[in-house]
Amino acid sequence: MTPEETRARLLYRDGLMLILDKPAGIAVHKGPKGGQSLEDDFDALRFGLPRKPALAHRLDRETAGCLVLGRHHKALEKLGLLFKQGKIGKTYWAIVEGGPDAQQGLIDLPLGRLDATRGWWMKADPAGLPSQTRWTIAGRGEIDGRAIAWLELEPLTGRTHQLRVHCAAQGWPILGDSVYGTAPRGNISQSAPGLQLLARRVSVPLAKTGPPIVVEAPAPAHMLRALEICGFAGDPPRAILEPGAAAEV
C-alpha cells in the first residue's frame, strides 16, 4: 500500500496506540519464506516518532479488521501485558455455513497443534490447551441455496486459529475457510468469497480510571453480500484520520 492508503486505514490514534483496519489477504509480518507483509507499510504510521510502530498482537493473513499497534517500547510492553492477561476485549464477526440451532452459547474445546508438518494448523485435542469461545447469532439467511448464519464471536482465550477450529468442530465452518472449512485450496477463483471473518471490535483499557477505548472496523467488501443477506444494514460513514496533530483521538 502507499503511505496514503496505509494512513487511510487508521481507525484510532493516540500517544501510545494505533488501531489499523487490516485488509484481508495480507500477512501482518514476514513468515519464514519472506514475502510482502503489512509491517512493510508501518513507516507511514510514525507520525513524528523516531521509530515506526510495531504489532501488539497478530491476525491471520485471511482475517480483516482491528489490528492493534504499539507506538513505542513502553506502549508495547503495556499492551502485551493487557493481551496476556486477557483484559483486551475482542469481538469478531463470522459468516458460517449452516449455523447453530440456539441463539447463543459457549464452545469449550481444548486445542492442540495438528502436527509438526502443518505449521500453525490446529485441531480439537482433549490434551490441548483450554480454549473457549462465546457466540451469539446476529442474523440468518441463505446464499446460493445454502443456509448461513452471521455470528458474533468473543474468544475468551487466544489460541491460534481458535475461532476457525471451534466453528468447524461444531459443524458450522466459517464460509471461505480453505483450511478448516469447505472452501477449495490452491488456486482460488476471483469469485470465491474469501474467509468471512472480521475482527470487528477491540476494547482496550489503557487508562487506570475511565472507560476502555472501544474501536470498530467496518465490514469489508468481500463480506458485505453475506452480511446483508443476514440482515446487516451497513456501517455509517467514518472520518479518515489525517496525519496532523488534530488526528489525535
> pLDDT tens across 135-162, in order?
999 999 999 899 999 999 999 998 999 9
From residue 203, give the alpha-carbon distance in Å to each of 19, 66, 154, 156, 206. 11, 10, 12, 13, 9
Question: On the CB side of 176, how many CA atoms lie within 13 Å of its CA?
Answer: 20
Residue 30 DSSP label: -
Query: Choosing from 14, 21, 43, 60, which is the catalytic residue?
Result: 60
pLDDT tens digits, one per residue of 210-241: 899 999 999 999 999 999 999 999 998 876 66
Please say whether the beta carbons of 26 and 37 come within 8 A.
yes
Distances (CA, A) of 128 to 79, 96, 125, 239: 26, 24, 5, 43
pLDDT digits (tens, 9 = 90+) for 83-115: 999 999 999 999 999 999 999 999 999 999 887
Q: Are 245 and 152 in contact (CB under 8 A)?
A: no
Under a CB-based contact definition with an 8 Å cutoff, are residues 16 and 78 in contact? yes
The backbone torsions φ and ψ at residue 122, rounded to the nearest 5 degrees and listed phi first, read -125, 170
H helix or E strand, kind and range, residue 148: strand 146-155
Verify whether residue 60 is a known catalytic residue.
yes
- pTM (two decimals): 0.90
Pick from 70, 72, 69: which is nearest to 51 by CA? 72
pLDDT of residue 184: 81
